[in-house]
């Protein structure tokens, strides 16, 4: 990632720079569809995060008198969703760099994030399911 | 506005240009549908949050937290509607841009959604942490 990425992202937000990229190489027709595909990916991430919030809301409302572990878990799930939302937004802003041929960058942390998050959510739900029902 | 940009060296009414434009319009339409799904998801979450607040209020009497749940649910539903409207405006703009061969990779609608969703999720996290 070039060092000017964050500065460019701010320029993109202000409308001073195009977001995805850099025309050329593969041609504008491909660029339009690539950008739209990146937007759909962002929207899928947003939906995943909102669904996580829904799970948290249901978890925290299953019983009248809730355990501390349930409160912590529900809050934790929503905080995970916040991280997802922000990472997906950052990803859309930096996708333009990846669409340039030869500038594709490996980001194993981002790629592994969904697995980590699903694991965390599964662990939380397992803990919740193991709680005795009052 | 550089409306003179030519993406095709050849005839813009050629079969290849028509095919390319059709694919772009279809991609734009898929994106509109993704926006609609996202908007509906937000509305559904708002409904769940507000309903559960009412449910708990009926069970164990009044409480400040349950009114907060109703308010948070209404905010989520309104946010879903705003997201749907932003997606529709974006769709119409991109459709025009494709027809005029003047595509701008704008992200204002996406950043609006990220900001709204993030803010509402932070609110939900605070609510769940305070009221359990």
A2 located within any domain? no
Report the domain count for chain A. Answer: 1
Q: A9 to chain B, minimum CA–CA distance in Å? A: 10
**Cα dist. B93→A22, B28, B97 in Å?**
20, 10, 6
CA distance A16 to B108: 12
With beta carbons less than 8 A apart as the criterion, state whether B97 and B1 touch: no
A29 located within any domain? yes
**Interval B84-101: pLDDT, tens:** 999 999 999 999 999 988
A54 located within any domain? yes
Tell me what pLDDT residue B108 has: 87
Exposure of A5 by Cβ count < 10 A (0-12 exposed, 13-18 middle, 19+ buried)? Answer: middle
Decide if pLDDT at B27 tops 90: yes
Decide if pLDDT at B3 tops 60: no
Give the mean pLDDT of chain B: 83
Q: Which of A12, A28, A37 sits opposite B107 (nearest CB)?
A: A12
> Which residues from A are below 8 Å from B107, CB to CB?
12-13, 19, 39, 92-93
Tell me what pLDDT residue A107 has: 52
Question: In this complex, is the C-beta atom of A57 within 8 Å of any C-beta atom belonging to chain B?
Answer: yes
Task: Flag whether the pTM goes above 0.90.
Answer: no
Contact B31 A51 (CB under 8 A): no
Q: Is pLDDT larger for residue A129 or for residue B14?
A: B14
A43 located within any domain? yes
A104 located within any domain? yes
In what helix (H) or strand (E) does residue B123 lie, and over which residues does it extend? helix B108-131
A84 located within any domain? yes
Contact B34 A44 (CB under 8 A): yes
Decide if pLDDT at B10 tops 70: no
Q: What is the mean pLDDT of each run of 10 residues along chain A (134 residues)?
A: 55 52 46 86 90 84 69 84 86 66 48 67 68 55
Show the domain range for A55: 25-129
Tell me what pLDDT residue A104 has: 42
**Weakest mean pLDDT among B24-33, B41-50, B51-60:** B51-60
A5 located within any domain? no
Tell me what pLDDT residue A110 has: 58
Other Cβ atoms less than 10 A from the Cβ of A11: the count is 14
A10 located within any domain? no
């Amino acid at each position: 990632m070039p060092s000017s990425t964050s500065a460019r992202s701010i320029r993109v937000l202000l409308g001073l720079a195009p977001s995805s990229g850099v025309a050329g190489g593969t041609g504008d027709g491909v660029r339009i569809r690539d950008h739209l595909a990146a937007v759909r990916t962002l929207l899928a991430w947003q939906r995943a995060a909102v669904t996580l919030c829904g799970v948290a809301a249901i978890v925290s409302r299953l019983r009248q008198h809730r355990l501390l572990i349930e409160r912590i878990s529900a809050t934790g799930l929503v905080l995970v969703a916040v991280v997802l939302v922000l990472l997906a937004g950052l990803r859309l802003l930096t996708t333009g760099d990846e669409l340039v041929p030869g500038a594709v960058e490996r980001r194993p942390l981002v790629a592994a994030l969904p697995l980590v998050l699903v694991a965390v959510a599964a662990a939380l739900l397992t803990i919740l399911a193991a709680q005795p029902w009052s | 506005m550089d409306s003179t940009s030519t993406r095709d060296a050849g005839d813009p009414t050629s079969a290849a240009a028509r095919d390319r434009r059709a694919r772009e319009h279809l991609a734009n339409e898929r994106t509109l549908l993704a926006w609609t799904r996202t908007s509906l998801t937000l509305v559904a979450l708002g409904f769940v949050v507000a309903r559960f607040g009412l449910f708990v209020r009926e069970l164990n009497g009044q409480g400040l937290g349950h009114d907060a749940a109703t308010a948070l649910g209404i905010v989520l539903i309104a946010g879903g509607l705003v997201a749907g409207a932003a997606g529709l405006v974006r769709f119409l703009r991109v459709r025009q841009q494709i027809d005029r061969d003047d595509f701008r990779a704008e992200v204002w609608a996406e950043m609006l959604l990220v900001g709204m969703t993030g803010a509402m999720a932070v609110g939900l996290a605070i609510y769940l942490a305070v009221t359990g």
